[in-house]
Chains A and B, each alone.
Chain A
């Protein structure tokens, strides 16, 4: 596809083109097909979370599960051995409330009367009737299950994974009863393969988002009354329907109501009901109100939990703490000053986890709108600085989160039989200087691209490297990693020739050259209806290729490459081990 054409495309069309490129490059199930399903990470510091740390230990993974953990564990002959010297192995982290994989979630509209009218207008235009009362079930779609709507190509799945998160609660967020959340693993080409538990949670939202259609309810108290009525109706249905089914003659028939049926089923599965409560007022309110709705309530938000930890503990209600700590606004009137109350809140919010831990509240952490997933751990660190033990912080990100969602039998710690979700780091996961090197999700290995390549060290072989040979490339597409093979010959004058092959076919390299450690080449591949120019540039660092592929001048994907022959990536580890 000529570049001039791409430039003239409207943004929407460009997105479509990119989507086509992604879909075309995406090869279902094949990406990891050549990956081994057996690994042994040896000689590493292992933090199982469920038990004490193991120095110089081994974790064996096979077919997506952890099969052995310990100091003196036999490495099975079929396993690819990863030398973990100098590395620390943690259970994969869990982000306890997100909309990852649900990019269609409607943007939250700031509350306000004007917004309400806009919402009303939109609703009218879309032919929706404004809700006239609880009977119209406004903003109520509890039957939507995140797992059914999962988009594996949500780019955040990769960025979260690279920040150490292997699992998340993905939950619908639009409406008063937006739907049911699902526990998903953050890798996979097919949505079905990502889902660990679905449905996992029933969401309740009492905040007015302006997205309720402009009718009832418009006020917080209206939303609260509505939620009460729905749970009352559900209890009524639970009582009425069996009576009617057994003795229909002479009884007025209960109306069919999908909301009641779905919520009753969720309550009978003992699904945690997630209710929002951030400040002290909301927390106290929900501690009073919500236990009437379900015996299994989980509060989320809870940033003013420092003032209410004992109350929460007394009710034995678990909590999801929003790690997006309040910060001063950046573009305010320089003469305006925040109130002492606000200042105190901002000062104390990060001490909430410590207070909860002290009171004995079970809690997990969630990203709460943090856009850069690296900030999640940074903000968890703030709560450690404010008095939380690092162990408790780690538990909140792993085993306790799994426990709250009823999946601690399969996630949250490094124990035999559990899902092989691991994070491999260069040290303490809460330290700013620690790098995440590798992440395992369902026993599949994902290399983590380094944000800024470290300066070249003498003798690392970068400048003098020769590209000639056969390379396995891993191309990072939004739908997961894709594999390609590069056959290349580097002539003494620096020109490159050869071919690149993927499931899309094989293409001949053109315009290939190497200058210092940087190489470039182009090739043309047929995507969708026509040929698309792909330009590639990258560097050879040690024994690794790193670079980007640009499709039609518009869509860019990163890739890494290792010499074919050994399992991809492992050679890199052996080399890098020497640098440390």
Chain B
């Protein structure tokens, strides 16, 4: 019974959060000043009792004092801490339908961008935890997964407005246990999906890039002959599966690879060198500390967990010093969530690198701000509090590396998308609306009973492609 009550409470809270009005639109003034805060700029130190001036969604001034024009919205942040919005480099929130197109080993034709779900409550929850941008990835069911997309957590905006404009899209690769298993029990008569081994994973990737190169060549040939004035040519058939791999070869798409073991990390870098592409980030990369120098030499970033391991064989050799050791070898390291729960306290996850590995406060905070921005190629726009960057900011009541820190306000592009006080204030009103709707339905009930009621109509807007949980790391 107690559990049921808790569940009910959770459901209520969820329902309420769902109903938070679309914010950010009501921003009247285009100039906002946050004053008297401890500003953790990440890029150029900490400013005590500092101010930030936001104009047209961008950070216009940062310093001890700013020139606030008349009519600017002034936010008194006395005693509070301002830092850049958190960037989660490995997220599966805001996806409509399954996270995996796991039916085949090369599913590069699918695109997370097609299924961004702007209504996912996890967007709002992440926002309440200070996350302002996320690298939304396909799952790790197959060696070459789907196309990925970087979003800003502009809660209340439609899906196309969530896309981080100008951010290079990516593609998800996966190595090791996930892609080599066929995804559940094998039924009699149903063939297992290739590959079954780590060797097979490598083979799948090599074959795919060989095909992609041939495909690229067929287009090059066609374009050359066409340019030469040849008539009666048939254009190659556009292939949505190979196009993103060509883009990886051309450096127009980032490769984010899920991985655990040092040997497979080395494997992918060798294949990359052979085919002439780069791995942008290794994700999870729990044995990255063993091959940190090689990762740094390749130029790849590493996005890992703070202290999450031993949930499967290939995750047994992990250590909590991983992030720190890779950092010390020159790798750009970020701490990610891969979880819609952990993403809400990535500041605390970052803090753990201070205990394990002796990272400084700045190094720790960078792992959830500037470093993931660099890894995603968006560091010119976000990741630190600098003039000219997007005003993606979190205001904490305590220092963000403290376990007592709770985000009070979160801005994206200068719009206040989350405000803790407003959230709390609106709960009663939303609860009232909910009760009223329930009453209304109950009143309509007698009329409905007249109808034959065996149809079992949908309880919610049908979501096509609802699916089981995506594969965990």
**Chain A residues in contact with chain B, CB under 8 A?**
111-113, 117, 120-121, 123-125, 130-134, 206-208, 214-226, 228-229, 232-233, 236, 239-240, 243-244, 246-247, 251-252, 254, 276, 278-282, 284-285, 288-289, 301, 303-304, 324-330, 335-347, 369-372, 375, 378
18 A-B residue pairs with Cβ-Cβ distance under 8 Å, sorted by A, are: A111-B465, A112-B466, A133-B104, A134-B240, A218-B101, A221-B101, A221-B110, A278-B462, A281-B463, A285-B159, A324-B455, A326-B459, A337-B8, A338-B459, A339-B14, A341-B18, A341-B460, A343-B437
Q: Are A281 and B117 in contact (CB under 8 A)?
A: yes
Q: Are B465 and A284 in contact (CB under 8 A)?
A: no
Residue of B nearest to A235 (CB): B238
Give CA–CA (A288, B461) in the complex, Å.
Answer: 20
Chain B 101-121: CB-based contact to A (< 8 A → 1; otherwise 0): 111100101111011011100
Q: Are B8 and A335 in contact (CB under 8 A)?
A: yes
Q: Are A219 and B98 in contact (CB under 8 A)?
A: yes
Give CA–CA (A338, B440) in the complex, Å.
Answer: 14
Residue of B nearest to A110 (CB): B466
**Chain B residues in contact with chain A, CB under 8 A?**
4, 8, 11-12, 14-16, 18-19, 96-104, 107, 109-112, 114-115, 117-119, 138, 146, 158-160, 184-185, 187-191, 232-235, 237-241, 430, 433-434, 437-438, 440-441, 448, 451-468
Known: A240-B234, A326-B459, A340-B18. A130 touches B190 (CB 8 A): yes
A345 CB contacts on chain B under 8 angstroms: 460-461
Known: A246-B232, A335-B4. A121 touches B468 (CB 8 A): no
By CB atoms of chain A within 10 A, which of B101, B240, B464 has the most?
B464
Residue of B nearest to A228 (CB): B240
What is the distance, in angstroms, from A246's C-beta to the closest C-beta of chain B?
7
Q: Are B240 and A121 in contact (CB under 8 A)?
A: no
Q: Are B98 and A220 in contact (CB under 8 A)?
A: yes
Q: Are B114 and A289 in contact (CB under 8 A)?
A: yes
Known: A133-B104, A375-B451. A222 touches B110 (CB 8 A): yes
Q: Are B465 and A344 in contact (CB under 8 A)?
A: no
Closest 8 CB pairs of A and B: A220-B465, A220-B97, A279-B461, A219-B98, A207-B464, A124-B189, A113-B468, A339-B15
Q: Are A328 and B234 in contact (CB under 8 A)?
A: no
Q: Are A282 and B464 in contact (CB under 8 A)?
A: yes
What is the distance, in angstroms, from B110's C-beta to the closest C-beta of chain A?
4
A329 CB contacts on chain B under 8 angstroms: 456, 459
Q: Are B453 and A330 in contact (CB under 8 A)?
A: yes
Q: Are A207 and B457 in contact (CB under 8 A)?
A: no
Residue of B nearest to A232 (CB): B238
Q: Are B185 and A117 in contact (CB under 8 A)?
A: yes
Known: A206-B465, A221-B114, A252-B234. A281 touches B98 (CB 8 A): no
Residue of B nearest to A134 (CB): B109
Give CA–CA (A371, B462) in the complex, Å.
Answer: 19
Q: Are A378 and B107 in contact (CB under 8 A)?
A: no
Residue of B nearest to A251 (CB): B234
By CB atoms of chain B within 10 A, which of A339, A345, A346, A378 has the most?
A339
Q: Are B115 and A224 in contact (CB under 8 A)?
A: yes
Residue of B nearest to A344 (CB): B437
B434 CB contacts on chain A under 8 angstroms: 337, 340, 343
Residue of A nearest to B455 (CB): A371
A239 CB contacts on chain B under 8 angstroms: 234-235
Residue of A nearest to B438 (CB): A343
By CB atoms of chain A within 10 A, which of B185, B235, B430, B451 has the most?
B451
By CB atoms of chain B within 10 A, which of A133, A207, A341 has the most?
A341
Q: Are B111 and A206 in contact (CB under 8 A)?
A: no
What is the distance, in angstroms, from B144's C-beta to the closest C-beta of chain A?
12
Give CA–CA (A244, B110) in the complex, Å.
Answer: 31
Known: A225-B240, A378-B451. A337 touches B11 (CB 8 A): yes
A342 CB contacts on chain B under 8 angstroms: 459-461
A240 CB contacts on chain B under 8 angstroms: 234-235, 237
What is the distance, in angstroms, from B20's C-beta to the closest C-beta of chain A?
10
Q: Are A225 and B110 in contact (CB under 8 A)?
A: yes
Q: Are A133 and B241 in contact (CB under 8 A)?
A: yes
The 8 Å CB contact of B232, one of A134, A251, A330, is A251
Q: Are A281 and B468 in contact (CB under 8 A)?
A: no
